[in-house]
Amino acid sequence: TQLLEQSPQFLSIQEGENLTVYCNSSSVFSSLQWYRQEPGEGPVLLVTVVTGGEVKKLKRLTFQFGDARKDSSLHITAAQPGDTGLYLCAGTHINTNAGKSTFGDGTTLTVKP
Amino acid sequence: DTGVSQDPRHKITKRGQNVTFRCDPISEHNRLYWYRQTLGQGPEFLTYFQNEAQLEKSRLLSDRFSAERPKGSFSTLEIQRTEQGDSAMYLCASSPRDRARYEQYFGPGTRLTVT
């Protein structure tokens, strides 16, 4: 079974704080995506990483792909209440076909004003 | 481009009834996926189409579930003889042609409640 483990499961912080959430697997990914999901809605794609060691920045969000392409992290600087949501990582493992992405169970982030 | 759309957004049905959901992907996306998501969990893969061909179906999917994409555009997911355990959010996603990055663009989902 190709599992993606996300940590922490829940995170509650004050506005202005920094945070990092993690996505780990024992398997190698060909690509990994981060999504943000709000209650009652579908996930919204934030970023895709494909190269080991890759770092991508999206405003206050920084995404890093591990050198071995087995793990990833999402760092948010100066969190805002609008960042509140469920952050999901999803990966396509190197040995699977184009159709199947495996999702983690997400990190639920709450940013208090 | 209006994004992925799903219909209905909410469905309440009694146990034993059949339900059908529709997904309209982003135009020109040749890959279409169905996922199921329950509270506190990430989306769980159900099935995948490339154009009109159903290329993979999860082993977790019982014979009561069937999906079609007859003309390689919209797709339907049917659940026969619904059970309370089928209550979940059903998500559809599509992915662009010739992209090796497997980025998926999701619709808003259909929330199914089986009473």
Is the pLDDT at B100 greater than 70? The verdict is no
Confidence tier at A3 by pLDDT (50, 70, 90): confident
Using a CB–CB cutoff of 8 Å, tell me whether B33 touches chain A. yes
* A33 closest CB neighbour out of B31, B35, B103: B103
Is the pLDDT at A98 greater than 70? The verdict is no
Q: Mean pLDDT over all residues of chain B?
A: 92
d(CA B26, CA B11): 23
* A48 closest CB neighbour out of B43, B103, B106: B103
Residue B16: what residue type? G
Query: A85 is written with which tokens?
Result: 């949501």
Q: Which residues contact B31 (CB under 8 A, 6 or more apart)?
A: A98, A99, B48, B49, B50, B94, B95, B96, B97
pLDDT tens string A32-83: 999 999 999 999 999 999 899 999 999 999 999 999 999 999 999 999 999 9
CA-derived radius of gyration, chain B: 13
Residue A99 has what pLDDT? 62
Residue B99 has what pLDDT? 59
Cβ–Cβ below 8 Å for A88 and B101: no
Nearest residue in chain A measured CA to CA from B3: A44
Q: Which residue has the higher pLDDT, B59 or B87?
A: B87
Residue A92: what residue type? T
Over residues A81-97, the mean pLDDT reads 86
